[in-house]
A and B are shown apart, each in its own frame.
Chain A
Amino acid sequence: IAGITQAPTSQILAAGRRMTLRCTQDMRHNAMYWYRQDLGLGLRLIHYSNTAGTTGKGEVPDGYSVSRANTDDFPLTLASAVPSQTSVYFCASSRDRGYEQYFGPGTRLTVT
């Protein structure tokens, strides 16, 4: 079934640890995105990629990094996790920039 997968589903992480959230899509979409969702703040864009090999910063990029080595994968890395990064993280993709986005099931991350 075509779509977006994310891993892990949930994770509890000690502050200061490094963590990579994985995202894979099989729709051959050019654009991919990472959002975080926090109660009362809605969804905020962390990083995006309009095509393989390129990335850009969203609203809240500090403390996060991404790479886009190929079309299908768009991992999000927290180099040194802090408690304020406790959130639900959603990966999304779209055919091209400006088109509707399709979301993965999310990763619930707790940083203690």
Chain B
Amino acid sequence: GDSVTQMEGPVTLSEEAFLTINCTYTATGYPSLFWYVQYPGEGLQLLLKATKADDKGSNKGFEATYRKETTSFHLEKGSVQVSDSAVYFCALSDRGGGSNYKLTFGKGTLLTVNP
């Protein structure tokens, strides 16, 4: 079945540091890939997405590139801010496999950015 593996946290960085959160996936079909962010006490918000190989999703300074050859979708940001402190979830939706298009989530990575 489909699965998503993301780096375990917590991740603690200083403001303006470079961020990478690794995400790899397994899927039987042709997945779309997503990063969601959850701020404390809130629901999940879509951060960015990519629907096919080599697509790059970007939003709010975050980027992730859909790499089919390495089955990866790593999240990066060049200079994090305190306001980026949140839990980040990688997810996939498999359009061609047996998952009936449901989202499969990674377990989440807690990011804390210190001033």
Q: Decide whether A and B assemble into one complex.
A: yes
Cross-interface CB contact of B89 among A42, A58, A99, cutoff 8 Å: A42
Complex contact B101–A98 (CB within 8 A): yes
Docked pose: A45 CA to B100 CA in angstroms: 12
Docked pose: A107 CA to B42 CA in angstroms: 10
- With both beta carbons as reference points, the residue of chain B lying nearest to A44 in the complex is identified as B105
- Closest Cβ of chain B to A34, distance in Å, is 12
Complex contact B43–A42 (CB within 8 A): no
Docked pose: A92 CA to B42 CA in angstroms: 13
Overall SS of chain B's interface: strand
Residues of B within 8 A of A74 (CB): none
- With both beta carbons as reference points, the residue of chain A lying nearest to B44 in the complex is identified as A103
Chain A 27-70: CB-based contact to B (< 8 A → 1; otherwise 0): 00000010000001111010010100000101000000000000
Cross-interface CB contact of B45 among A56, A58, A98, A103, cutoff 8 Å: A103
Cross-interface CB contact of B106 among A42, A97, A100, A103, cutoff 8 Å: A42
Cross-interface CB contact of B43 among A33, A41, A48, A90, cutoff 8 Å: A90
Complex contact B49–A43 (CB within 8 A): no
Complex contact A100–B49 (CB within 8 A): yes
Residues of B within 8 A of A101 (CB): 46, 103
Chain B 103-115: CB-based contact to A (< 8 A → 1; otherwise 0): 1011110000000
Q: Which residues of B line the A interface, CB within 8 A? A: 32, 34, 36, 42-46, 49, 89, 93, 95, 100-103, 105-108
Q: Which residues of A line the B interface, CB within 8 A? A: 33, 40-43, 45, 48, 50, 56, 58, 90, 92, 97-106
